[in-house]
Structure formats: C-alpha cells, structure tokens
Amino acid sequence: MSAGGRRAVGALAGTVTLLLVPVVAALTLPRLHEPWTGREVELAALTPWGLPASGLLVVVALATTACARRWWRLLPGFIAAAGVLTLATHAVWLAPFFSGDPPTGSTGQAGQSDRLVVMTQNLEYGSAASLVDLVRANAVDVLVLVDLTPDGRSAVIASDLPARLPFTVGADGGSLVLSRYRLGADRLISGGGDSRELTVETPMMGAVDLVALHPTPPYQGGAWRHDYGEILGRLRESGRVRPDRPRVVAGDLNATADHVALQQVLSLGYRDAVEQADAGWQPTFPAPGAVRRLGLPVPPLVQIDHVLVSAGLRAHDVHRVAVAGADHLGVVAVVTPATGDAGTATGTPPLG
C-alpha cells in the first residue's frame, strides 16, 4: 500500500475509532451500576449490542495503530486493549444464554401430561386471529396477554381462544390470562401495568403459581422502580407462604437480564427460560417491521418479554413467535418438572 493510501486508511479507521468509543461506553457503563435515569435504563437494555460494537472497535483501533506513525500508535493501541477487555466482558455477560443447563430427561411428543406450554404476548396491537393460530400450532396451555386495550380484550374473547383455553382471568386495559386448566386465587399487584398473581391447577404438577407481569415502561424511571419494588415484595411473600409450590413468571417485564431489577427477581431463585434452555439471546422488541426509522425496518433490539421458572421446574424448547400486527414478539416455553421428561411444542418454526 502506498504511503498516501496508508494515511487514508489510517485516517478513516481513526475517525471510526473515535466515533465508536462513546458508543461502546454507552452500551457498557449502564450495566455496571444501577441506572437511575430513564435514559440510562433504556441504554442498559441495549447492553448485548456492546459485543459487536466492542469487536468492531478492536478491529478499527488495531487498523489505526497499524497505519499510524510510531509516536501516534500509543492512543489507538490503548483503545484496542480496552476494547479487548470490553469485548471479553460482554462475552461473559451474554454467555449464559448460549451455555445453559444440559437437557435433562428424554424428549417426548406434544400432548404429554407432564408438560405445561406457556406463552406470553404483549397484545396492545396485533391480530386475534393470528394469535389463535399460534396458540393452536404451539399447543399452548396457558396464555398470558398484557397491555390489552378494551377493544383487544373484546377481540380475544370473541375469537376461538376461549374454546381452547376456557378458564379466564383479567380485566380491560391490562393483563388477561387464558388457561386450559382451572385458574384461582387471583390477586392484583399494585403498579401501572395491571400485573397479577394467580394459581393454575394443572393435572401434572398440581397447583402452580403464575405471575403475569407488565410493569411500567422503564423510561418512567421512578414509576418503573416502584413497580419492581411491589413485584419483588409480592414474590418474596409468596415464597415465604408457599415455599414448595412451583412458580412461573411471564409477561412483558420491561426489563432485560442487564437490569438490576430483573437480576433481583432472578436472585429469588428464578431462571430465565431462554437462558435455562440454552436458547441463545432472543430479543423480542420491536417485532420485525413494527418500527421503521429512515424508511428502514428496525430489527428486534431488546429482550424484555420473558418466561421465568422457579426451582423445581425446567424450561425447554423456548422460542419466539410473531403475532401479525403486534409490536412485540411472543415467547413460548415448554415447562416440566425438573426431574420429568421434556415435551416438544409443535407448529410454527421458532423465530430464533
């Protein structure tokens, strides 16, 4: 390469390096402490994107170092070294989603009596007919719907879903739970999103506590933290009162594994179904095509819709599904007793 070409490459790489440094910092630092502002909370949700950003930073910083004059190599060399450290940190943070527990038991067929298929979907927008198709295709036993409008609830009730999932708990403008099995002991959790705790009377595991969650969006920092305080209090209380009962938490949690709020929930003994099933990182918002910027569709960026399981339960075959018109992807998980056999959901292929 000529000296002029080398200088041009170095200048371009140096410019990209300087642009990437604040990007990588913004995708890393909020994860290292409890975010207090709404903007920090939103940035923490984007933490997984720090992995490719850090990798790119290392490459361009090394290119800058290679092309720089000797006395200018120290700064890009330092940035490259810091980028390697940041890259390794992000890899450690993401690793649990790709290195979960090894599968236990044998894989059976859909319809086995020892499994509970749970689906959660934010249905502020979306087609009830498409939802029915996905529930049927995945043999869903318990469906948790959040962010429902009154019109959305009416559309769900008027669909074929109540025929498949005849037991229903919920109200307009919030969460709605439909189940193949009897529901009981419904208690609201105070907060802005109509979260609730109830019991599913399953034939395979007996009574299972189900917590349907939709806390306030994180950009409302104070209200979001208040909601999670209420949620944590309820989960701790339930654990003390019914320590041996299995529990499933499902919904649009408006938090990712990089948020302290969700980490506190997991510290109570819950496992994220995606992580436990070794299903990889599966962002759920926005749904493909739901949001456009500069005329281009925005891909799923953050993993805020979750199914969590308590000790004694095991999640399998966790995947995302797309309801037509919805701005969130849904999550489907097959849940079994930890010592039982794993069932396999059937129907539409997983999105990721």
Q: Is 106 within a domain?
A: no
The encoded tokens of residue 214 equal 């939709």
Answer with the residue of higher pLDDT: 3 or 115: 115
Any idea what the CATH number is for the domain that residue 270 is in?
3.60.10.10
Q: What span, in angstroms and rounded, lies between the C-alpha atoms of 121 and 326?
A: 9
Average pLDDT, whole number, for the chain? Answer: 88
Among 238, 302, 230, smallest CA distance to 261 is for: 230
Q: How many C-beta atoms lie closer than 10 Å to residue 192's C-beta?
A: 17
Single out the residue in 49, 67, 97 at which a domain terminates. 97
pLDDT at 218: 84
Band (pLDDT 50/70/90 cuts) for residue 347 is very low
| pLDDT per position as a tens digit, 125-135 | 999 999 999 99
Partners of residue 330 on adjacent β-strands: 321
Are 133 and 325 spatial neighbours (Cβ–Cβ below 8 Å)? no
Is there a single domain that holds both residue 209 and residue 327? yes
pLDDT given for residue 40 in this prediction = 84
Better-scored residue on pLDDT, 243 or 143:
143
The verdict on 150 and 249 lying in the same domain is: yes
Q: Which residues contact 288 (CB under 8 A, 6 or more apart)?
A: 297, 299, 300, 322
* 211 located within any domain: yes
In angstroms, rounded to a whole number, what is the distance separating the alpha carbons of residues 75 and 108? 57
Are 61 and 85 in contact by the 8 Å Cβ rule? The answer is no
Residue 86 pLDDT: 97
Do 66 and 125 lie in a common domain?
no
47, 67, 97 — which closes off a domain? 97
pLDDT of residue 111: 44
Return the HEC string of 118-185: EEEEECCCCCHHHHHHHHHHCCCCEEEEECCCHHHHHHHHHCCHHHHCCEEEECCCCCEEEECCCEEE
Residue with tokens 């690793």: 95
Give ∠ CA 253-233-286 in degrees, rounded to 5: 5
Cα separation of 185 and 165, whole Å?
A: 18
- Quick one: average pLDDT of 89-97? 95
Question: Do 229 and 280 reside in the same domain of the chain?
Answer: yes
Distance CA 134, CA 140 (A): 8
Domain enclosing residue 245, as ranges:
116-337
Same domain, 194 and 256: yes
Specify if 282 maps to a domain.
yes
- Same domain for 82 and 124: no
Residue 267 lies in a domain: yes
Q: Is the pLDDT of residue 72 over 90?
A: no
Torsion angle defined by CA atoms of residues 158, 161, 163 and 169, in that order, rounded to the nearest 10 degrees:
-90
Please tell me the distance from the alpha carbon of residue 286 to that of residue 143, in angstroms, as a whole number: 20
- The answer to whether residues 229 and 219 touch, using CB atoms and an 8 Å cutoff, is no
| 247 and 139 belong to one structural domain | yes
Tell me: the pLDDT tens digits for 146-205? Answer: 999 889 999 999 999 999 999 999 865 578 999 999 999 888 887 666 789 999 999 988
DSSP 349: P
Cα–Cα nearest to 248, from 209, 198, 196? 209
Same domain assignment for residues 192 and 301: yes
Angle between helices 50-67 and 3-26 (to 10 degrees): 150
Q: Which of 105, 109, 106, 177 is nearest to 345 (CA)?
A: 109
25 Ramachandran zone, left/alpha/beta (phi>0; psi -120 to 50): alpha
| Cβ-based neighbours of 237, under 8 Å, separated by 6 or more | none
Distances (CA, A) of 345 to 151, 267, 310, 348, 349: 30, 28, 20, 9, 10
Asked whether residue 136 is domain-assigned, the answer is yes
Contact between 236 and 269 under an 8 Å Cβ cutoff? The reply is: no
Q: Are residues 330 and 214 in the same domain?
A: yes
Q: Check whether residue 146 and residue 279 sit in a common domain.
A: yes
Length of the chain measured in residues: 352
- Model confidence pLDDT, tens digit, residues 267-317: 999 999 999 999 999 999 999 989 888 889 999 999 999 999 999 999 999
The lowest-confidence range among 86-90, 221-225, 292-296, 316-320 is 221-225
Q: Is residue 347 part of a domain?
A: no
Query: Worst-scoring range by mean pLDDT, 11-15, 258-262, 282-286, 296-300?
Result: 11-15
At 342 the pLDDT is 42
Q: Give the pLDDT score at 26.
A: 94
Query: 55 and 124, same structural domain?
Result: no
Q: What angle do CA 194, 302, 123 make, to 5 degrees?
A: 40
- Domain presence at residue 351: no
What's the token pair of residue 143? 């469906």
32, 67, 97 - which closes a domain: 97
> Residue 190: inside a domain, yes or no?
yes
Give the residues across from 334 on adjacent strands: 117, 316
Higher pLDDT, 329 or 187: 329
The domain total for the chain is: 2
Mean pLDDT of 63-77: 81
Cis bond before residue 286 (omega within 30° of 0): yes
Give the pLDDT confidence score for residue 89 in this predicted structure: 97
For residues 68 and 189, membership in a common domain is answered with no
